[in-house]
Amino acid sequence: MRVTTIHGPGDIRLEDRPEPRITEPHQAVVKVVAACVCGSDLWPYRGENPVDVGSPIGHEAVGVVEEVGAEVRDFAPGDFVVVPFVHCDNTCPHCRVGATSACVNQGFTNGGQGEYFLVHQADGSLVKTDGMPDEALVPSLLTLSDVMATGWHAAVSAGVRPGSTAVVVGDGAVGLCGVLAARELGAERVVAMSRHEPRQKVAEQFGATDIVAERGEEGEQRILELTDGIGADAVLECVGTNGAMRTAFKVARPGSTVGFVGVPHGVELPVRQMFGKNVGLAGGMAPVRTYLPDLLERVVSGRIDPGLVFDATMPLDEVAEAYRAMDERRAIKVLLRP
């Protein structure tokens, strides 16, 4: 089968590798219908994370079950499934309180930018649609494997409430989904920090009421002006850099919470500022499986359309170009078709 591999910074290849095989009774093999490049894939691509040379890459995918292990009871070949990027049994003590991304039997989608991949804990992880979905729904269903659920986690962790003001730091696919999540959770005002016009337009489609293009101290001051000097009731940090985290705490009002989902790189928390303003920090790796049933219903019913974050579609053969397009900010998010 063909699968995307990474060999070093900027070195993405599509290679032939053996198809995955079931080695444990709780596993399943999924044939990919659609996959994509995640913003977090760009960290190793840019040399910010260590690279296991030649390793498969890609953790966002939807597809059709090809084969199941002997102990898989709830899924069968032919089922169309959304696959959370973190696999879980959905029964352990952590899963039972909603922390499915910290399952004691945790696994991950590996090689999702390919033709087939292996799912661990299939019964606990997979969520199937009612038959084969309409083709038009596939992009939105694909976002549920990570970015929409991750944006949702940022909004939930930040404590977005009806009538509140939310600020979203970051205009990548996760940040844009955070805008959509904040509106769905009832925020009356949603401020998207973005200086890129195509991303601003998607943010507005998702319900952003204000756009702040400035960065750093200038952007922080602009948000304080918009909120009459009060700051935001909830802040979604969707980048993972020290600058983004600094901004998040600067614009958070006393007593609020910053919900963070950006993979941290060089972040130093302003603990004294947090202490003085009573501003909390919550979030982390999104428990996608926890949110999936609710988000799936919202997508299938047409209430939300997070697939709008995909502004480019490419065949798997062009995966290297997909990485370049996202790295150079020529694309918000690229959908891949095997």
Q: What is the pLDDT of residue 96?
A: 98
Would the pTM of this model clear 0.95, i.e. be above it? Answer: yes
User: Is the domain of 198 the same as that of 331?
Assistant: no
Contact between 235 and 154 under an 8 Å Cβ cutoff? The reply is no
Q: Hey, what are 31's tokens? A: 């044939």
Please report, for the domain that includes residue 192, its CATH number. 3.40.50.720
Torsions phi, psi for 259 (to 5 deg) = -95, 115
Percent share of the chain, pLDDT over 90: 100
User: Is the domain of 235 the same as that of 165?
Assistant: yes
Q: What is the pLDDT of residue 92?
A: 98
User: Is the domain of 9 the same as that of 106?
Assistant: yes
User: Is the domain of 319 the same as that of 220?
Assistant: no
Q: What is the pLDDT of residue 269?
A: 97
The per-residue pLDDT for range 247-257, each reduced to its tens digit, is 999 999 999 99
Q: Hey, what are 135's tokens? A: 């083709």
Span 167-185, average pLDDT: 98
Please report, for the domain that includes residue 321, its CATH number. 3.90.180.10
User: Is the domain of 118 the same as that of 208?
Assistant: no
**Based on the structure, what is the number of domains in the chain?**
2
Q: What is the pLDDT of residue 316?
A: 98
What is the four-CA torsion angle of 297, 302, 308, 314, rounded to 10 degrees? 80
| Cα angle 11, 17, 23; round to 5 | 125
Q: What is the pLDDT of residue 243?
A: 96
The per-residue pLDDT for range 102-127, each reduced to its tens digit, is 999 999 999 999 999 999 999 999 99
Q: What is the pLDDT of residue 263?
A: 93
- Which structural domain range is residue 237 located in? 150-283
Contact between 81 and 62 under an 8 Å Cβ cutoff? The reply is yes
User: Is the domain of 40 the same as that of 55?
Assistant: yes
Contact between 223 and 232 under an 8 Å Cβ cutoff? The reply is yes
User: Is the domain of 197 the same as that of 275?
Assistant: yes
The per-residue pLDDT for range 208-265, each reduced to its tens digit, is 999 999 999 999 999 999 999 999 999 999 999 999 999 999 999 999 999 999 999 9
Residue 203's pLDDT band, with cuts at 50, 70 and 90, is: very high
User: Is the domain of 122 the same as that of 6?
Assistant: yes
Q: Is the dihedral of CA 202, 287, 42, 136 positive or negative?
A: negative
Beta bridge partners of 83: 61
User: Is the domain of 271 the same as that of 320?
Assistant: no
Q: What is the pLDDT of residue 297?
A: 98
User: Is the domain of 20 the same as that of 133?
Assistant: yes
Among candidate residues 338, 329, 327, the one with its CA nearest the CA of residue 12: 327
Mean pLDDT taken over the chain = 97
User: Is the domain of 197 the same as that of 246?
Assistant: yes
Q: Distance (Å, rounded) from C-alpha 316 to C-alpha 302?
A: 28
Q: What is the pLDDT of residue 197?
A: 96
User: Is the domain of 99 the same as that of 161?
Assistant: no
